[in-house]
Copies of this chain bind each other. A is one copy, B any other.
Amino acid sequence: MNLKEIIFGRRLRSEEEESEQLGTLSGIPVLGLDALASAAYGPEAALTVLIALGTLSSGYIVPITVIIIALLIAVAMSYRQTIPAYPGGGGSFTVAKENLGPISGLFAASALCIDYILNVAVAISAGVAALVSAIPVLLPYTLTLCLIILALLTIVNLRGIRTAGLLFIFPTYLFVACLGIVVIIGVVKTLMAHGHPIPVCSPPKMPISVTTVSIWLLFRAFASGCTALTGVEAVSNAVPIFRQPTTILAKRTLTIIIMLLAMLLAGVAFLSHSYGISATSPGQAGYQSILSQIVSAVSGRGVFYYVSIASILMVLALSSNTSFTDFPRVCRLLALDEYLPAEFAHRGRRLVFTQGICLLTVLSGVLLIVYGGITDRLIPLFAVGAFTAFTLSQLGMVLHWHRSEEPNAKWSMATNAIGAVATAVTLVILAVSKFKEGAWISILVIPPLVMLLSRIRHYHQEIYSETIEVVPLDMEELVPPVIVVPMKQLNSITRKGLRLAMTLSPEVHVVQVVAEEMNTDDLMHQWSKLVAEPARQAGKPVPELNVIRSPYREFFGPLLRYVRKLAIHHPDRQLAVVIPELVEVQWYNFFLRHRATLLKTMLRLQGNPQIVIITTAWYRKEMHLKGKLDQVNQELKLTAEAANKNKEK
């Protein structure tokens, strides 16, 4: 127990929820890591598509980034409106479900869940990839490192939101500070040099353009850059983790995250342009990330460079933490609506949704293992889920305001409508431009997931409607069951079962199946002396012994037939089969005794609702305990006798 507390922290009482809630300062690392880390890979993704343009590419990054930032602000504005409208946590699932119907809600939830799972795998492997490219000796341990980070993130998140918040404050703000300083110095230098600053370290030379610009290429670059928007949904989904005044803190947190992200994106694009920085081909010699080029161009390769790069790596690897906060909350909402088992809505020992966290760990762990820790091929699937959820959520909000009677409803509707159109257009661009690269897989995965979730709900509701009964408990026919005790020998183990049976019902049938005559003593000989006679003398009903000879040497067949016959004979009685078990927690026990388990399974597979299974356990230490007791009694007796003798003297 103590080890558990060291790893996961002491248990928290339900009333301690408040102490786990966050303010803005710790809310930003917990919910903003994913979004902020986008600054590290969003522009890079867009520029990588533009590599073919060579030196020209840095000219196009500014307009593309402007569009992405506009989209970001539109989406953020709409989510800012979602927060007060759904203070219980208005993720795409809730908003789409309430305004567009349950199926839309499920589509949003499925898309988002897949996105979160992919995010964990991709973010961790991206961080590890950067790490092993810096320290190549670690290359053979890529998968191991991925799984270690996954395990650490899981433990941190199982320790509760507050721990995660406190732990991630440092890397998050270090990252923002470093990149912010670079952007500020870079912008100042650019302005002082009239738009043509001289890099401290020159970026790698780019070849001249090999293709001309096409709309298609720009679309693809835009679609790739849009990965910068994933994670924006997080705050509105997790509103209840903020302390009072909840919605105000949530809105403030979202605004700060988006402002920071927009400034970083803008800064990166501006500096790429002014320093003429382009992407290098990943996986080829001379590869250097955009941020590495920018930092070294602006500030050279000193201590500051290495601190910045380290903070970027950390944020990349940890950015999946946002999924750990949000995924379990989506699962909780699904569970509350019975789309998942109720356990997903139960808060664990540290008031987080343990089941959801574990499910996320398992699923993303499987992805990491299947792809050997290198998840590049999963990236195209990544943004499709997020933008599907965005679009459904915005559409839902449009309908929400349409029905609303609030004074500003029209303005709000307009904001959400713009967001909906923008994200829908982006989704189409994303789906089309990345279809071949893997976006088609989403189409294969999302609908079956939606079907599975509906199926689970259907199942839960069927069970509910089949089992609900609000009438008073039926007190008719409260007759004890007919009891069957299968018995091979009359030893301590079976005696315990027989004695229990005799306390439960006056009708006890003991069944001995004699399969191989040579091995089994017929109980018939001893029955009268050992059981029937004592029972009669004690005035108890005598258990009935039935010896069944099994001509084909089977044990289960004759026994099950006997039970079935009894069931037909007593159609309105319960039949309780008492199975006396020898329980011993030792490994070889597993190999030596399966009869009881087999019998239980076979009885259940009979499908007869009359059958009740009773297992009595005989523990090996029982004998020793009994022995000890006898010994103590013996000693007491001797002492008493000795005392008496002394007295006599």
Residues of A within 8 A of B (CB): 11-15, 341-342, 345-349, 455-456, 459, 462-464, 466-475, 478-481, 490-493, 495, 498-500, 502-505, 515-517, 519, 526, 529-531, 533-535, 537-538, 540, 551-554, 574, 576, 582-583, 585, 588, 591-593, 604-605, 607, 609, 611-623, 625
Q: How far is the CB of A627 from chain B (nearest CB, A)?
A: 9
Give chain B residues whose Cβ lies under 8 Å from the Cβ of A468.
491-492
CB nearest to A533 among chain B residues: B472
A611-B620 contact in complex given A473-B531, A529-B472, C-beta closer than 8 Å: no
Q: Indicate if the CB atoms of A552 and B609 lie closer than 8 Å.
A: no
Q: Indicate if the CB atoms of A475 and B540 lie closer than 8 Å.
A: yes
Q: Indicate if the CB atoms of A530 and B614 lie closer than 8 Å.
A: no
Q: Indicate if the CB atoms of B530 and A472 lie closer than 8 Å.
A: yes
State A120–B592 Cα separation when bound (angstroms).
25
Q: How far is the CB of A576 from chain B (nearest CB, A)?
A: 8
Selected A-B contacts with CB under 8 Å, 25 pairs: A14-B553, A15-B551, A346-B515, A346-B516, A347-B516, A348-B553, A459-B588, A463-B582, A466-B623, A467-B492, A467-B623, A468-B492, A469-B495, A470-B530, A472-B534, A474-B499, A478-B538, A480-B504, A481-B504, A504-B505, A576-B614, A585-B607, A612-B616, A612-B617, A614-B615
State A15–B491 Cα separation when bound (angstroms).
30
Give chain B residues whose Cβ lies under 8 Å from the Cβ of A623.
466-467
Give chain B residues whose Cβ lies under 8 Å from the Cβ of A605.
585
4 nearest CB pairs, A to B = A475-B538, A467-B491, A467-B492, A472-B534
CB nearest to A517 among chain B residues: B14
State A72–B636 Cα separation when bound (angstroms).
70
Q: How far is the CB of A555 from chain B (nearest CB, A)?
A: 9
Give chain B residues whose Cβ lies under 8 Å from the Cβ of A13.
551-552
Q: Indicate if the CB atoms of A615 and B613 lie closer than 8 Å.
A: yes
A604-B583 contact in complex given A345-B519, A475-B540, A478-B499, C-beta closer than 8 Å: yes
A342-B519 contact in complex given A467-B493, A500-B481, C-beta closer than 8 Å: yes
Q: Indicate if the CB atoms of B463 and A620 lie closer than 8 Å.
A: yes
Give chain B residues whose Cβ lies under 8 Å from the Cβ of A504.
480-481, 504-505
**Given A11-B552, A504-B504, 15 additional A-B pairs, CB 8 A:** A13-B552, A342-B519, A345-B519, A347-B516, A462-B620, A464-B491, A466-B623, A469-B490, A471-B530, A473-B495, A473-B530, A473-B534, A475-B540, A480-B504, A613-B614
Q: Indicate if the CB atoms of A503 and B481 lie closer than 8 Å.
A: yes
CB nearest to A589 among chain B residues: B459
Q: How far is the CB of A553 from chain B (nearest CB, A)?
A: 6
